[in-house]
Structure 1
Amino acid sequence: MAKLTEYKRLFLEYLQIEKNASPLTVRHYGDDITAFFAFLESESIKSLEDVDYSVIRVYLTKLYEENMARKSMARKISSLRSFYRFLEREEFVKHNPFVNVKLPKKDQLIPEFFYEEELNLLFSVSDCSTALGQRNQAILELLYGTGIRVSECVQLEESHIDFSLSTLLVYGKGRKERYVPFGQFAGEALRNYLSHARPLLVKKARPVEKLFVNAKGGPLTARGVRLILDKMVKEAALTVDIHPHKLRHSFATHLLNAGADLRSVQELLGHEHLSSTQIYTHVTKDRLQQVYMNSHPRANK
């Protein structure tokens, strides 16, 4: 077991240093490998070389019996495939038994999004005469106006904003850089926050590099953003559930509904693969049907 633990340590170190993976990604990989090691121990399998397709089938059956979501199963298989690929490269094992294992098809979840009327209510609830109200408005305008992830939002610094070009420098997954444009509403909200609110919030605390700060002047966390949005939904008297990603979904959906092309939306969202962006196309089908019925000469008698 000590040798397995050492293999795991080396692999996670490789992810951090060579692949520049995020701490969350490294943690997920580590958890997946630990769970697989526990399975091997329960099956009295002591060597990674003894793992073959029949062993993997038993493992997958176990996961199915635990009613694990397909998405979680797919991630575990992907983690173990990458782990064995690393071991093979380092010549710790001779073959990768996961190389031909097909990932379970992910459940196709429909992304939730806000209707424009709901967003208009959200944009009207902040008391922009207060520092916290100006901060909250800037966060809301930025999340919806750029489609960035909350994890990307809380990592922003003032130096990442270019007001002359109306763009943000965003560090996405794996610290990949991309530039994202923002509109007039987000620009105005950011200027108000930086000019009036932020100096008031940080004056009693030690200086912080992060753009958004909490009521005590420290860096705002992703959990803090969720609490802010939950409060705004209640104040808007909306009966919808909210999560920060819902604003990202709304950003993508509204762009596609207005005629933006999929490739452009992919770039704006920072998706590595177009398939990740295609999940939003289904919500535009009603819009396409409407355009077809209203535009095609043979659509209606």
Structure 2
Amino acid sequence: MDWRSAIKGFQAYLKLEKGLSENSIEAYSRDIEKLRQFAETENLKPETIALSNLRQFITWVNELGMLPSSQARVLSGVKSFYKYLLIEDLIKNDPAELLESPKKQRKLPVTLSYPDIEKLLSVIDLSKPEGPRNKAIIEVLYSCGLRVSELTELKLSNLYLDIEFVKVLGKGSKERLVPIGGEAITALKIWIEQVRVHIPIKKGEEDMVFLNRRGSRLSRVYVFMLIKQLAEAAGIKKIISPHTLRHSFATHLVEGGADLRAVQEMLGHESITTTEIYTHLDREYLKEVIGSYHPRS
């Protein structure tokens, strides 16, 4: 079996069997491409790689200067690749089964305070045609804790504003219902009912919530650029992205005493351990409060 056909089959498996998005499939493909590069220097084919070779591969990846988190992601891709080969009977034994992942350093995500969120909103120029749309983008990201791709793919038919919910298509094409707050509902209604109705919409984009001036759905890159520009205009010194608003949404819920399982459900996390990072953030916040206000600190 050659690498090209093995990788092509793996991509089809990720798309059809696992239901992953194009972005996730690309990420997995890049990881297996690294394995292919290493294997070809050792004249190894997918079915002839042993556990010892994969351990050498880990060392090779480490020498490339990749962060432990990136190395762990590459290894996750390699394990999924060999699981696929085993399922398809292309190999008899899984050499990656006993492969240990490098320990990841758990970095606390960057978040914004509520006054920072208000600063972001205050610098949006509502007199411009894109102003109401941009305000709705920030309100929805913060109110619902969406990933940027979930925001750009949000559909009018999935808005249930009368009962204050939106249906979101998350990772692995998994749907979830997320509550949406009053401020975000108001901003959405202004954008949809007063501005969006005047845009000539391209065929096939009629159901998309967020459109550009040409009537096409917004790109992920545009949302990243928008938040960077707003942060600069608001004088926020932190390096932030759409995901910062998602982190802020979760952190503010946990700080307010929200149940971790409920936060997990709203974020669309498969594992509660992913959501637990926000309890660490909460502890950091509590330490800051004590450090700032306790007379004996």
TM, length-normalised to structure 2: 0.92
Report the Cα distance in structure 2 between the residues aligned to 1:207 and 1:129, rounded to whole angstroms.
Answer: 29
Output the amino acid matched with 2:187.
Answer: A
Question: Matched residue of 2:2: which SS?
Answer: helix
Work out whether residues 55 and 99 of structure 2, in 8 Å CA contact, stay in contact via their aligned partners in 1. Answer: no
The answer for the alignment partner of 2:260 in structure 1 is 262
How many percent identity over aligned positions?
36
Q: Give the structure 1 partner of residue 107 of structure 2.
A: 109
Match 2:165 to one of 140, 164, 167 = 167
Aligned to 1:23: 22
Please say if residues 113 and 249 of structure 1, whose CA atoms lie closer than 8 Å, have aligned partners that are also in contact. yes
Counterpart of 2:40 in 1: which secondary structure?
helix
Superposition deviation, residue 290 in structure 1 = 8.8
State which of 67, 70, 80 in structure 1 corresponds to 2:68: 70
Q: Indicate the residue corresponding to 1:95 in structure 2.
A: 93
8 Å contact kept, 1:125–1:235? yes
Q: Is the 8 A contact 1:126 1:133 kept in 2?
A: yes
**Which AA in structure 2 matches 1:160?**
N
Aligned to 2:232: 234
Q: Answer whether contact 1:148 1:269 (CA < 8 A) is retained.
A: yes
Residues 131, 198 of structure 1: 8 Å contact kept: no
Residue 71 (structure 1) shift: 1.5
Counterpart residue number, 1:14: 13
Kindly provide the CA deviation profile for residues 225-251 of structure 1, in whole angstroms up to 9, marking residues without a partner as x.
112212222222333322110000100
Deviation at 1:207, TM superposition (A): 6.6
**What is the CA deviation profile of residues 17-40 of structure 1, one whole-angstrom value per residue up to 9, with x for unaligned ones?**
111111111112222222212211
Q: Give yes or no for the alignment of 1:81 onto 2:50.
A: no
Letter of the 1:273 counterpart: S
Task: Give the secondary-structure state (helix, strand or coil) at the position aligned to 2:43.
Answer: coil
Gapped runs of 5+ residues in structure 2? none
Whether the aligned pair in 1 keeps the contact of 2:6 and 2:46 (CA below 8 Å) is no
Q: Distance in 2 between matches of 1:41 and 1:271?
A: 37
Q: Secondary structure at the match of 2:177?
A: strand
CA distance in 1, matches of 2:180, 2:172: 23
Q: CA deviation at 1:206?
A: 5.2
1:123-182 CA-to-partner distances (Å, cap 9, x unmatched) read 212232433110011001000011011110000111110111111010000110000011
Instruction: Tell me: CA distance 1:102–1:126, structure 2 relative to 1, closer, same or farther (3 Å).
Output: same
Equivalent residue for 1:42?
41
Which residue in the other structure is 2:176 paired with?
Answer: 178
Q: Do the aligned partners of residues 292 and 192 (structure 1) sit closer, same or farther apart at CA in structure 2, a change above 3 Å counting? A: same
Q: Is the 8 A contact 1:131 1:193 kept in 2?
A: no
TM-score normalised by length of structure 1: 0.91
Alignment of 1:240-259 (within 5 A): 240-259=238-257
Task: Say which SS state the counterpart of residue 248 (structure 1) adopts.
Answer: helix
Residues 177-209 of structure 1, C-alpha deviations (whole Å, 9 max, x = no match):
000011110000001001111123x23755723
3-state SS in 1 of match to 2:186: helix
RMSD: 2.0
Aligned residue in 1 for 2:281: 283
- State the Cα distance separating 1:48 from its structure 2 match: 3.0
Aligned length: 291
CA drift of 1:287 comes to 5.0
Matched position secondary structure for 1:249: helix
Residue of structure 2 in register with 1:139 after alignment: 137
> 1: CA distance between counterparts of 2:216 and 2:255?
38
Gaps of 5+ in 1: 294-299
Q: Distance in 1 between matches of 2:53 and 2:202?
A: 56
Question: Which sits farther off after the overlay, 47-56 or 82-91?
Answer: 47-56
Question: 1:185-204 residue pairs with structure 2 within 5 A?
Answer: 185-200=183-198, 202-203=199-200
Q: What amino acid is aligned across from residue 121 of structure 1 in structure 2?
A: K
CA gap of 1:128–1:207, structure 2 versus 1, over 3 A, is: farther
Q: Aligned partner of 1:9: which letter? A: K
